Amino acid sequence: MRAVHPPGPPAWKGRPVIPPAAEAAARVERLRLARRVRFALVCACLLLVALAAFLASLTIGDIDVPVADVWAVLTGGGDPGSRFVVHELRLPRALLALVVGLCFGLSGAVFQALLRNPLASPDIIGVSAGASAAAVLASMAFGLSGLALSGGALTGALAAGAAIYLLAWRGGVSGGRFVLIGIGVAAGLVSLRSYLMTRAEVTEAQNAFVWLAGSLNGRSWDQLWPLLGCAAALVPLTLAVSRSLTALQLGDEAAGGLGARVERGRLALLACATALVGVATAAAGPIGFVAFVSPPIARRLLPGQGAALVPSALTGAALVCAADFAAQHLLPDTQLPVGVVTSVVGAPYLLWLLARAGRAGRGG
């Protein structure tokens, strides 16, 4: 007969029993680590894309410059010809594209997250229109240029943002009302801008039209340095005041219950985002749809990451730099305004967003 052995101990005996609370905490920590790793990887990839477009802008053109020569120029060496092409012609334009895109991308992320509306983009709700209308008025009516013109564009953006906020105030500001009033204000400012252009000389109107399309053609260090100074102050300030953004996204009552200063935080964020739009528009004109499409792209790459301010800024930088490179080389013997290329990308997304909202409104 075969010997019958008694059954052994259960499989779980001999192993440590993890309390449910500890297991849940470990799982949450793993999820947080995975999100941080993905955040870092996405930011690194976006930065590499932006740097690749930046390097392509420095090396490829009517006169191709090898990467080794570009590096020599950037480190203070290189022959006179390479220094002139890279340092004087291409470097300020490429840097301007990066910084302008970063400002637009960060501003769009703040507007969309704060107002909880994908249409809450500064180029749709009138902030960019305020900057461009003020710049056209300063140029054609008062003959301003340079830093004075940039100051006029910044003042126009801030004035438009303040007007929209005051008109949308009804014991608080809702995203839908802010967007609708912003669209109305934008229509009025565009009409004013068109009227000013009809009263201008043909040459002035033509130059204004190129600027209004959003162009980096002919930009130099004179436009870059003021933008760098403003961005160096505004970007860290925006990230600092964005600490209240997570609470504000929950609604005024919930944010107030969590101890957030609702109106103070909202005003600070709107002021920073509006100033970012103003300085970027002053440097390169109202480049359309960058602030509109950069945040959705960043949020798609990082689902569940909230506002994704830094990835949105990097997306904007990569988008403008790549679009400007395409604008320079898309057509032979012709340099398009960068705003034309970004509009080709952004307009279909706007139409798709409106069509989807329409289907949702019909219950479909």
> For 235-275, how does the pLDDT look when each residue is reduced to its tens digit (9 = 90+)?
999 999 888 887 777 766 676 666 667 778 788 888 899 99
Q: What is residue 59's predicted lDDT score, i.e. its pLDDT? A: 92
Whether residue 361 is contained in a domain is answered as no
- pTM for the model stands at 0.85
CA distances from 172 to 11, 180, 263, 286 (A): 61, 15, 8, 29
Q: Coil, strand or helix: which one is 15?
A: coil
| Any domain includes 16 | no
Q: Is residue 59 part of a domain?
A: yes
Domain that holds residue 73: 30-346
pLDDT value at position 314?
94
C-alpha distances out from residue 349 to 73, 117, 289, Å: 40, 15, 9
- Over residues 73-128, the pLDDT tens digits come to 888 887 888 888 888 888 999 999 999 999 999 999 999 888 888 878 888 888 88
Within a domain: 149? yes
**H or E stretch covering 117:** none
Q: Which residues of the chain have pLDDT under 70?
A: 1-19, 21, 251-253, 255-260, 354, 356-364
Q: What is the dihedral of CA 330, 210, 182, 349, to 10 degrees?
A: -10
Decide if 102 contacts 313 (C-beta within 8 A).
yes
- DSSP letters spanning 9-61: --TTTTSPPPPHHHHHHHHHHHHHHHHHHHHHHHHHHHHHHHHHHHHHHHH-S
Helix segments in 60-146, DSSP class H: 67-74, 80-83, 91-115, 127-142
User: Is 236 domain-assigned?
Assistant: yes
Residue 363 lies inside a defined structural domain of this protein:
no
194: domain CATH number is 1.10.3470.10
Per the CB < 8 A criterion, the answer to whether 104 and 290 are in contact is yes
The pLDDT of residue 44 is 94
- pLDDT on residue 363: 39
H-helix or E-strand spanning residue 220: none
Number of domains within the chain: 1
* Inter-axis angle of helices 20-59 and 309-329, nearest 10: 20
Whether 9 maps to a domain, the answer reads no
8 Å CB contact between 291 and 344: no
Beta bridge partners of 257: none
Q: Please report the pLDDT score of residue 14 as a whole number.
A: 52
Is 303 part of a structural domain of the chain? yes
Local structure of 260: helix, strand or coil: coil
Q: Spell out the residues 6+ positions from residue 82 whose beta carbon is closer than 8 angstroms to its own.
A: 65, 69, 70, 72, 73
Q: What was the pLDDT predicted at 118? A: 80
Q: How far apart are CA 132 and CA 134, in angstroms?
A: 5
Percent of the chain predicted with pLDDT > 90: 18
